[in-house]
């Protein structure tokens, strides 16, 4: 069978790579073409467009790159038609994928959506597009099944969260060896996860690095995104005392004592490693003002959304500053606070269901088209 998968961000590349691995177990002859990154490519897929070229953050940024986005949509349709897949699989990335899904449905391609766009957060009206253009939806958050089926009468499959698989199946490292390889000393590690897009890294990392001189008994280590060059980070660090490790976020989290994390999938990853964290987010002023009026949620981090409580502190926009960040970092380094947070993390993991999301999804997709 021939599969065409579209992911547009680092998290989609991760989940897409695990899905590809599972699809190949179901269908050893699978031929896979995709929009994704290095992880999907490593699983044997042919990458047509790399996520480095696709991730645009914020309303203003999308408008500024509209010409490129429209060219990508046109090219994608042409590439799908030339490949003639048995199924199209969309992974999140809604602005782009909904445009392709509408066209693909009219052209007669089976359309499957793995990892739902966050319609429950904003643009709920897009449910009409889902009902019209998507043949099957596989959701990974427990409250999404209720959102689709009870609120909008659209059947979906809750497959569990693929991060459980990604973390459970990762190679176990030797902490001492890891420190030696990356020239880290014996001080406790505070991991800095500033995101994967250039815009957010530039904004987030500069403030995060302000913590370095305030905690001399700890060492700060930046988790570099695979989509960015080392030189890009070096310009932001600008001589400040922080180590840098690229494309080994899970290994870094496994040896860390605390983390400062940009809002996104990384907040959930950090929680599943049971690492106390402060969630941070700051966008352009205009993008934030627009988002504030459109998004009707009590929280921005997946940890708090799933637990439906403020388990981890979120520093958003103006609150993301050096003073506030230091106050919250002090809290998560306090043993009593950490103990309460660990209990919340265990409750979170239980809510996410068991492992096997990628395998379940691959089996359902293959059965539907075989």
Helical ranges in the chain per DSSP H: 10-26, 38-42, 59-64, 66-83, 94-107, 127-133, 142-146, 152, 162-168, 175-181, 198-208, 230-237, 249-254, 265-272, 285-294, 302-307, 322-332, 335-351, 357-369
What distance in Å separates the CA atoms of residue 317 and residue 179, rounded to the nearest whole number? 34
Mean pLDDT of the chain: 91
Please say if the pLDDT value at position 19 is more than 80: yes
What confidence tens digit (pLDDT) does each residue in 238-268 have? 888 999 999 899 999 999 999 999 998 899 9
Percent of the chain with pLDDT over 90: 73
Average pLDDT over residues 168-177: 91
pLDDT at res. 264: 85
The phi and psi torsions of 169 (rounded to 5 degrees) equal: -95, 0
Average pLDDT over residues 6-24: 92
What distance in Å separates the CA atoms of residue 68 and residue 88, rounded to the nearest whole number? 22
Higher-scoring residue by pLDDT: 285, 121: 121
What confidence tens digit (pLDDT) does each residue in 135-163 have? 999 999 989 999 999 999 999 999 999 99
What distance in Å separates the CA atoms of residue 124 and residue 118, rounded to the nearest whole number? 8
pLDDT at res. 213: 96
| Residue 239, number of CB atoms within 10 A of its CB | 6
Average pLDDT over residues 71-76: 92
What distance in Å separates the CA atoms of residue 41 and residue 17, rounded to the nearest whole number? 8
Domain limits, CATH 3.40.50.2000, in the chain: 2-161+353-369, 168-351
What confidence tens digit (pLDDT) does each residue in 263-283 have? 988 999 999 999 999 999 987
Topology (CATH) of 2-161+353-369 = Rossmann fold (3.40.50)
pLDDT at res. 66: 65
Which of 67-76, 92-101, 164-173, 251-260 is most confident?
251-260
What distance in Å separates the CA atoms of residue 194 and residue 208, rounded to the nearest whole number? 8
Q: Residue 370: which pLDDT band, with cuts at 50, 70 and 90?
A: confident
Q: Which residues contact 209 (CB under 8 A, 6 or more apart)?
A: 192, 220, 236, 237, 240, 242
CB 86 within 8 A of CB 1: yes
Maximum distance among all Cα pairs of the chain, rounded to whole angstroms: 61
Please say if the pLDDT value at position 294 is more than 70: no
Global pTM reads 0.80
Q: Residue 123: which pLDDT band, with cuts at 50, 70 and 90?
A: confident
Q: Residue 295: which pLDDT band, with cuts at 50, 70 and 90?
A: low
What confidence tens digit (pLDDT) does each residue in 218-244 have? 999 999 987 788 889 988 998 889 999
What confidence tens digit (pLDDT) does each residue in 314-363 have? 999 889 999 999 999 999 999 999 999 999 999 999 999 888 999 999 99
pLDDT at res. 95: 86
Q: Residue 168: which pLDDT band, with cuts at 50, 70 and 90?
A: confident
What distance in Å separates the CA atoms of residue 47 and residue 49, rounded to the nearest whole number? 6
| Residue 101, number of CB atoms within 10 A of its CB | 24
* Cα pseudo-dihedral 14, 16, 22, 26, rounded to 10: -170
Helical ranges in 109-227 per DSSP H: 127-133, 142-146, 152, 162-168, 175-181, 198-208
pLDDT at res. 256: 98
What distance in Å separates the CA atoms of residue 331 and residue 19, rounded to the nearest whole number? 38
Q: Residue 296: which pLDDT band, with cuts at 50, 70 and 90?
A: low
Specify the range with the lowest mean pLDDT, choosing from 119-123, 132-136, 162-166, 351-355.
Answer: 119-123
What distance in Å separates the CA atoms of residue 253 and residue 133, rounded to the nearest whole number? 39
Average pLDDT over residues 195-208: 90
What confidence tens digit (pLDDT) does each residue in 26-66 have? 999 999 999 999 999 999 999 999 987 765 555 545 555 66
Q: Which CATH superfamily is domain 168-351 in?
A: Glycogen Phosphorylase B; (3.40.50.2000)
């Amino acid at each position: 069978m021939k599969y065409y998968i579209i992911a547009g961000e680092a998290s989609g590349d991760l989940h897409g790579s695990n899905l590809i691995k599972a699809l190949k177990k179901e269908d050893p002859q699978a031929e896979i073409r995709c929009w994704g990154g290095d992880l999907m490519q490593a699983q044997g897929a042919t990458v047509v467009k790399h996520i480095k070229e696709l991730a645009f953050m914020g309303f203003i940024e999308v408008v500024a790159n509209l010409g490129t986005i429209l060219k990508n949509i046109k090219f994608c349709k042409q590439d799908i038609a030339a490949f003639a897949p048995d199924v199209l699989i969309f992974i999140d990335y809604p602005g782009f994928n909904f445009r392709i899904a509408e066209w693909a449905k009219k052209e007669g391609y089976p359309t499957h959506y793995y990892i739902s766009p966050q319609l429950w957060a904003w643009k709920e009206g897009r449910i009409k597009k889902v009902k019209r253009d998507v043949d099957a939806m596989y959701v990974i958050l427990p409250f999404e099944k209720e959102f689709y089926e009870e609120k909008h009468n659209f059947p979906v499959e809750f497959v569990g969260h693929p991060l459980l698989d990604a973390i459970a199946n990762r190679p176990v490292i030797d902490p001492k060896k890891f420190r030696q390889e990356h020239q880290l000393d014996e001080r406790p590690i505070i991991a800095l996860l500033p995101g994967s897009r250039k815009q957010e890294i530039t904004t987030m990392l500069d403030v995060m690095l302000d913590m370095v001189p305030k905690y001399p008994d700890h060492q700060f280590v930046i988790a570099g995104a695979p989509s960015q060059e080392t030189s890009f980070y070096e310009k932001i660090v600008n001589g400040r005392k922080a180590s840098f490790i690229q494309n080994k976020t899970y290994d870094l989290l496994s040896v860390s004592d605390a983390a400062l994390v940009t809002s996104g999938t990384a907040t959930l990853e950090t929680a599943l490693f049971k690492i106390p964290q402060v969630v941070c987010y700051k966008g352009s002023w205009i993008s934030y003002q627009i988002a504030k009026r459109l998004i009707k949620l009590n929280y921005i981090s997946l940890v708090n959304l799933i637990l439906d409580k403020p388990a981890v502190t979120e520093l958003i926009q103006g609150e993301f500053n050096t003073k506030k960040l230091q106050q919250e970092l002090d809290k998560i380094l306090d043993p009593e606070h950490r103990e309460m947070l660990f209990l919340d993390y265990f409750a979170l993991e239980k809510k996410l269901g068991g492992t096997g999301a990628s395998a379940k999804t691959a089996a359902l997709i293959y059965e539907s088209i075989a």
